[in-house]
Amino acid sequence: MIKALTCFKPTLAIVAFTLMAAANAEVYRVVDAEGKITYTDNPPENSHDLVEKVPETDPQQNITPTPESLLENQPEWLKEAQEKRAQATKNKNRDKQIQYQQNKKDWQRSLKTAKANVKKAQLMLDIGSEPTEGDFVGNAGGGARPSSDYLKRLTLLEKNLADAKRHLLQVQRSKPK
């Protein structure tokens, strides 16, 4: 048996506790008048030193439980809460996936419509830029110039094409990620 062990470092004290606990001996912590701490299995008799009995430790105390044993020892309400949380996360992820698929379909539809609008605006510009009767006015000195109605029509058709292209670009940039 270990009679006395003077500890200068906490790690040495832990080792001493382990050794003494393994030997199934009672351990006492003795602090003398000078503040020196000693661990022993035999407390001094008729001493003015502070003597405390160190509680016995369970040999299983420092063993880390396995994840399986932790799961087995959980209360039912905790297991139910964890299952509920896992199901909520699963539902949320599924909802996100469904929403993403819907957003992607909506975007593809918008993209198709925007491309069609650009083609339509280009076609309207091509058709509208062909001069018809009354689109040119004669000059006093000879020759002809475009009428103001023709110029307004061309400006409007060009603006519609530019707007359709700008909208197509916005739709392309808004692709869901």
Q: Model-level pTM greater than 0.75?
A: no
Q: Is the pLDDT of residue 23 over 80?
A: no
Per-residue pLDDT, 74: 80
Higher confidence at residue 175 or residue 63? 175
Sign of CA dihedral 110, 115, 116, 118: positive
Residue with tokens 């199934």: 24
